[in-house]
Amino acid sequence: MRRVISYAAMAVLVLAASAAAQTARWTDPTGAWSLDLQSVGWAYGEGLPQGGPVLIAVPFVAPPEHEVRACLAEEVIEPSAEVQSDVRARGGEIDIVQACAILTRLQIRAPVVTHREVDGVSVADVHALAPNGNPLRASIFYTPAAGGVMRTTISCFRPPDLAPAKAAEIDAVLNSLRIHAGPQ
């Protein structure tokens, strides 16, 4: 959890240093998926260190400490010989045990897992609590990748007493997910 907080702090610094306008949709480096950040007034950090998240997104205007919220996206390539349609359905098979395993470093508590389909790909949505009691929402999905499958996890954090309109920004970011990998 300390690592996640340091990534979020780093993102605020990166964003503060770069006030340049950004495009409406952020697309991951592989082109497999994208999020709309601009419509909710969020921006993203660029030049992130290797081995860390591929995306750190926070509100463009730095909020007060009691309103800090952030989303991190991480990608892991797993070897696999699965056919593309099986890969795209894999997120729909994630249950509470698997969600806890995927999010183990976040030490989540009280997870609830639901599923939705985005552009022909099954996505597991996880609602849980971080160790400090702050709400966490994550979306986990799989897309085909060279040599296997790519598991993408987008984790978003916020304080528990955040105003509903500000808390809704996280839902808007995660609901803006579009998946471009493979045939529809």
Structural domains for the chain: 2-179 (3.40.1000.10)
CA gap 57, 53 in Å, rounded: 10
Contact 142, 80 (CB under 8 A): no
pLDDT in tens, 45-69: 876 777 788 899 999 888 888 899 9
Residue 140 is predicted with a pLDDT of: 97
Which one is predicted more confidently, 18 or 38?
38
pLDDT above 90 for 18: no
Three-class DSSP category at 12: helix
pLDDT in tens, 75-99: 998 888 777 778 889 999 999 999 9
The predicted model gives 6-24 an average pLDDT of: 46
pLDDT above 70 for 16: no
Strand locations in 3-94, DSSP E?
Answer: 25-27, 33-36, 42-44, 55-59, 70-79
pLDDT band for position 150 (50/70/90)? very high
pLDDT above 70 for 143: yes
pLDDT in tens, 95-128: 999 999 999 989 999 999 999 999 999 999 999 9
Spatial CA neighbour of 80 closest among 151, 141, 153: 151
Structure tokens at 159: 């304080």
Structure tokens at 171: 């839902």
Beta bridge partners of 117: 122
Q: Write down the pTM of the prediction.
A: 0.85
Rounded to the nearest 5 percent, the helix, strand and coil shares of the chain are 30, 35, 35
Three-class DSSP category at 166: helix
